[in-house]
Amino acid sequence: MTATVIDGKAFAARVRAQVQTHVGRLKAERGLVPGLAVVLVGEDPASQVYVRNKGTQTLEVGMASFEHKLNAGTAEADLLALIARLNADPAVHGILVQLPLPGHLNSELIINSIDPAKDVDGFHISNVGLLGTGQKSMVPCTPLGCLMMLRDYHGSLSGMNAVVVGRSNIVGKPMAQLLLGDSCTVTIAHSRTRDLAAVCRGADILVAAVGRAEMITGEFVRPGATVVDVGINRVERDGRMKLVGDVHYASAAAVAGAITPVPGGVGPMTIACLLANTLTACCRANGLPEPEGLTV
């Protein structure tokens, strides 16, 4: 079997186009411009690239982008004061503090100081609790993107066996909650799981979010299963740097029914969902109906 490739790049472009259409309508009919504030502390090169891409795409869909770049030695009190100002600013509907933060800053304290209604990352403890109890929340962008692609490919996910490999707060745990919300039978596996390959072979939907390059090979995949690869790992191959996922693509694609590639799979969906969350936050803040298909 050769797997169908799920094209995340094309899907993300569709999501952005939908967001842009809604933003245009909000502007024309209500004079409203959704605004996203991104806070970057320090000069981590990868974070700088992410933040630049977020800013560019925010402007491309017609939203306002507010970038706050602080030096690496910023005091916690100063960062908290900035977040308090953004919380109170009616032009800001979404706030994202780029992670990881420098070691002297308490990430949990900082994230939990964001107004949950503006927490477009869905990392605030209130949003985690709301998602876990099946209530309306802000949903973390990467798992939301994965769910959108799975719903688009399968229609209903009800009754399917889903295995999520990875238990991070950013991907693994919220991904499991979302799949449970769509009536999958969900297993969360991780590096300590006994006979991981056998557990994974029980999956109709296999989500790899372990952060280990090409760890999930074809041996882990049930014939015909759908494989979603969340990993982004930089590895050296033949003297050159290359991006690979947590899935060993060639062997997995030979067994799977469908698979997301790296690059061009889950990655582009993350920023698209950040824009979707900002739009959702703006609609909620103004008592307007939420855009359909852009949130759970």
Nearer Cβ to ligand GUN, position 2 or 56? 56
CB of 121 to ligand GUN, least distance (A): 5
CB of 8 to ligand GUN, least distance (A): 15
Binding of ligand GUN by 171 (CB under 6 A):
no
Distance in angstroms (rounded) separating the CA atoms of residues 44 and 71: 11
Binding of ligand GUN by 229 (CB under 6 A):
no
Q: Identify whether the C-beta of residue 285 lies closer than 8 Å to the C-beta of residue 88.
A: no
Q: What x/- string results for residues 243 through 282 when contact with ligand GUN is judged by CB under 6 A?
A: ---------------------------x------------
Q: Is 119 a catalytic residue?
A: no
Q: At what angle do helices 45-60 and 8-30 cross, to 10 degrees?
A: 50
Q: Is 182 a catalytic residue?
A: no
Residue at token pair 């700088």: 48
Instruction: Spell out the residues 6+ positions from residue 240 whose beta carbon is closer than 8 angstroms to its own.
Output: none
CB of 68 to ligand GUN, least distance (A): 13
Q: Active site residue: 98, 119, 229, 246, which one?
A: 98
DSSP H or E stretch at residue 108: helix 107-111
Distance in angstroms (rounded) separating the CA atoms of residues 293 and 217: 32
* Near ligand GUN in 99-128, by CB under 6 A: 99, 121
Distance in angstroms (rounded) separating the CA atoms of residues 121 and 270: 10
Nearer Cβ to ligand GUN, position 96 or 225? 96
Q: Tokens at residue 65, please?
A: 């982008």
Residue (of 3, 13, 33, 66) closest to 268 by Cα position: 13
Q: Is 195 a catalytic residue?
A: no
Nearer Cβ to ligand GUN, position 137 or 270? 270
Binding of ligand GUN by 141 (CB under 6 A):
yes
Distance in angstroms (rounded) separating the CA atoms of residues 253 and 103: 39
Among 97, 131, 188, 273, binds ligand GUN (CB under 6 A): 97
Q: Which residues bind ligand GUN (CB under 6 A)?
A: 96-99, 121, 141, 270
